[in-house]
Chains A and B, each alone.
Chain A
């Protein structure tokens, strides 16, 4: 049952149109596919190597299912047909086919190991909801996630990278610790791809009825902006108590990560090099965002100050590495952090590297800035008063978050002001480049933050 030749053109046409395809706009030279393993008679996990003209390659995971007849409910994920006459098969994305997707859960429950495909069970078999049918969730950048009822979520990594996925690694370790602020890992799937161990999918507890922090923060800002003249602490939708609880949760996750993966210390020289890298990124950004000129001298001074503030090195540990409000889910019991994958574009070794916990805090502080100001960007007829209140909301919740973190961690991140600000600046410079390229009207948010960072006010964190 080798359909490789027939499938090749279908995948070549279909793959570049997928949202999770990372090579959009690049010149593709080749598609090479091979079958990783079969799941039952009709379903096969294909691995597709995409070769680009610049001689780089990317590897994608493409599970497909073949049906003997067209299936109406799958029409939106039809790749095409192969074969002729009586042998015609309709080819669909298997992650949308409920009969196919059950096989992932059965494999995990049974700890199946075919030699080519290894399913690992990390919880009790009864916790795997094999009886639930799956629903593919849309709109993801680098994965396809399937929800099984409101019990579990299977994240299928589309773009494959050699090595154990950091999300799998972190959740497995923290689940074993019984950590309260991460979802429980139920199982995962891995294989050897091109000679290297590679994570293919992970199954985790679904945070039922949860909402992400970004949505909650936006609701709070909306409430404040609708008031005539209330201060942030007077508004009904005040978020500060939630921000403080989130700070406590992040501190506890950092503590758990330190227990699970240990702590280390970078040398003063390594930290120096790190601040030089921040400078280099600034120089690069200046070519794309001329408006950064105004703050560049201040930022360089800040990086120098930060370098001096940790001249004899900096405590490091495993961190989240891409923390923002959208990665925090408010459940009815507590805040839970998700997506420990790190920056999806970086290679796995970089994503797993220890770093300062302050980097996560800086990421969250940036997110509060965005939440506070998003209405100013979106609203027509923005007024100075609106901007003032956006800033007030952001400051209030940034401080509340740091208060909570200090309570949970026993140390106040604001006492390491220069280093924290440097991490924030690094992130804001990255944002400036991103916004200049993709959403120019949002550029004002990172720019304003950078102005604030180079002229710190007394109360600002």
Chain B
């Protein structure tokens, strides 16, 4: 039934080189004119994604759900929400993606289900039945007092009373999302079976949501417990054995020093293949605001090394922003001290905005941020629409403001759907700066100087240089604190990245003696720069300008 042969080859390191792209099914393309994006719609846009250079799509949850938390409240792990399509649609989409060399990872929420899940309904109505112990029940709401409440704005307690079972159930997030009881062997088996269901369909991995909270124990804060790691090791072992080249991407919204535990054993890496590096994005933002490399240099220096077979995931924007509350333990940390005192930083980072409006649509800054995303250690995760500089709709509120329909054309509904405009799941952006009549894929495809073409070029340059994905990272410092300079090195591929974080033109002198005799080549245009000698190497950069320079091992490499 596979329509086209897969272009995916065995490649255990693929995720270390890959450019990821987060795409909301509901927001990308509508194939059946019901106003809401779907799997077939996404499939119809695979050529675009391939042209852009995307290696792997990340799909947030599309399972059966009452949608009280964006689909992160799952009511059936093996059924697709009918709005999006069917399992057959998904299989066809997967084959088409693989035929284009594009991999697909999907969100998987292990920690909890929706209260609408049949397991929970059975558990509350039949305490002694087969699902009686699938959740964590207690006669009062005083157990696990050390576990903090994460959603302090909406939840008074981690326990909620169920009038049917007449007991309290445990939940670390919303009260409509009861936590599964991973002490139950049946829960473990059912979760593993659900994972296998999707792996058997051919997906390339999972983003595992909210993993630190799987287990809770008396006398602990219920985060990062040894039992949680043990279960992840079990998942990893089964995946490695039966499904090679699939990845587990862990979402643990914590400080990098704590997140490394989710890679497992530092020598072999036996838990997740990837984890998000949350502080990178706010640090980039802070560095540009302060016109200083230290916010970035410092977090890179504080980032521990990870096992060879692992990789960070980094992003500028997605729906998992770093919240200040997550880092308050680091009282003396640079970012906390700076954030807490700067109202503009606090206002901008907590709120979900798209990249372009966050940077006031300053093209130089958008390009600098994107260049940093593509060059810093880790696999970059792009957010759909940011490649054309889409705006957000703040009137829709935090959650939906960045989830408006993808803007394909200047036509009705931005080419996203042919339905009546009133039927759209969210209105398309229509403001004068970011509206679909101005900002859309069609227009930017035709204009080769557009942000879209620029982004595509940069992605392709990144992919041509394995140092970006696989290389070591060395901060060069340099004479000018406004300029962040670093070298990525992988075998013979050596790339020097020089970034001016200031609005103003800056000179910088770099000590490049380790590469003495090499003549740098600018990666985008191919111009050759003066040969590196013994003296400090002088570069001048325009405001928010940057260079990617390849350093050939020897000068004679250049002339050929």
- Chain A residues at the B interface, C-beta cutoff of 8 Å: 73, 135, 147, 149-150, 208-211, 215-216, 219-220, 222-223, 226, 233-234, 236-238, 240-241, 245, 330, 332-333
- By beta carbon, the residue of chain A nearest B339 is A241
Does residue B93 face the partner (Cβ distance < 8 Å to A)?
no
Whether B477 lies near A215 (C-beta < 8 A) is no
Contact B297 A209 (CB under 8 A): yes
12 CB-based A-B contacts, threshold 8 Å: A135-B513, A211-B479, A215-B480, A219-B291, A219-B292, A219-B482, A219-B502, A222-B502, A236-B288, A240-B341, A241-B338, A332-B294
Q: Which of B511-533 contact A (CB under 8 A)?
A: 511, 513-514
Within 8 Å of chain A (Cβ to Cβ): is B99? no
Beta-carbon contact of B477 and A208 below 8 Å = yes
Known: A226-B503, A333-B301. A237 touches B477 (CB 8 A): no
B290 touches A237 (CB 8 A): yes
Q: Are B481 and A330 in contact (CB under 8 A)?
A: yes
B240 at the interface (CB under 8 A from A): no
User: Which one of B475, B476, B504 contacts A226 once the chains associate, using CB atoms below 8 Å?
Assistant: B504
Q: How far is the CA of A238 from the CA of B286 in the complex (A)?
A: 11
CB distance from B444 to the nearest CB of A (A): 29
For A73, list chain B residues within 8 Å (CB).
Answer: 534
Query: What string of 1s and 0s marks CB contacts (under 8 Å) between B266-296 and chain A?
Result: 0000000000000000000000111110100
Nearest-neighbour CB distance to chain B for A112, whole angstroms, equals: 27
Across the interface, A332 reaches (CB within 8 A) one of B288, B297, B338, B502, namely B297
| B558 close to A (CB within 8 Å) | no
Q: Which of B327-364 contact A (CB under 8 A)?
A: 334, 337-338, 341-342, 344
CA distance A109 to B4 in the complex (A): 66
Per-residue interface assignment for chain B, residues 311 to 335, with 1 indicating a CB less than 8 Å from any chain A CB and 0 otherwise: 0000000000000000000000010
- Per the bound structure, the CA–CA distance linking A344 and B291 in Å amounts to 34
Contact indicator B294/A215 (Cβ below 8 Å): no
A333 touches B504 (CB 8 A): no
Query: Do A215 and B513 have beta carbons less than 8 Å apart?
Result: no
Q: Which residues of A contact B475 (CB under 8 A)?
A: 209, 332
In the bound assembly, the distance between CA atoms of A330 and B334 in angstroms comes to 13
Q: Tell me, in angstroms, the Cα distance from A147 to B481 when the chains sit together.
A: 20
Total A-B Cβ pairs within 8 A:
71
Once bound together, how far apart are the Cα atoms of A330 and B342, in whole Å?
Answer: 21
Q: Determine how close the nearest CB of chain A comes to the CB of B101; give it in whole angstroms.
A: 38
Contact of B476 with A238 in the complex, beta carbons under 8 Å: no
The interface residues of chain A lying within 8 Å CB-to-CB of B288 are: 236
* Smallest Cβ-Cβ distance to B298: which chain A residue: A332
Closest 4 A/B residue pairs (Cβ): A209-B477, A332-B301, A236-B289, A211-B481
Give the complex CA separation of A226 and B543 in angstroms: 13
Beta-carbon contact of B341 and A209 below 8 Å: no
Contacts of B503 in A (CB 8 A): 223, 226
Contacts of B338 in A (CB 8 A): 241
Residue of B nearest to A133 (CB): B513
Partner of A236, one of B290, B337, B479, B480: B290
Specify which chain A residues have a CB less than 8 angstroms from the CB of B297 in the assembled complex.
209, 332
B552 to chain A, nearest CB (A): 21
Residue contact A330 to B294, C-beta cutoff 8 Å: yes
Decide: B481 and A237 in contact? CB cutoff 8 A. Answer: no
Assuming A219-B291, A330-B481, A332-B300, what are 15 further A-B pairs, CB within 8 angstroms?
Answer: A135-B511, A135-B534, A149-B513, A209-B478, A211-B477, A215-B481, A219-B481, A222-B291, A222-B504, A223-B503, A234-B344, A236-B344, A241-B341, A332-B298, A333-B301
Q: Which residues of B contact A333 (CB under 8 A)?
A: 298, 301
Asked if residues B511 and A150 are in contact (CB atoms below 8 Å), the reply is yes
Return chain B residues, CB-CB under 8 Å to A219.
291-292, 481-482, 502
Bound-complex Cα distance A112 to B124 (A)? 81
Contact A238 B298 (CB under 8 A): no
- Closest CB-CB distance, A135 to chain B, in whole Å? 6
User: Which residue in chain B gives the minimum CB-CB distance to A209?
Assistant: B477
Interface residues of B in 89-141 (CB under 8 A from A): none
CB-CB contacts of B48-75 with A at 8 A, as 1s and 0s? Answer: 0000000000000000000000000000
Residue numbers in B under 8 Å from A237 (CB-CB): 289-292
Q: Counting chain A CB atoms within 10 Å of each CB, which of B292, B294, B297, B479 scores highest?
A: B292
Is there contact, CB below 8 Å, between B291 and A236?
A: yes
Please give, as numbers and ranges, the residues of chain A lying within 8 Å of B342 by CB-CB distance. 238
Known: A236-B291, A241-B337, A330-B294. A210 touches B477 (CB 8 A): yes
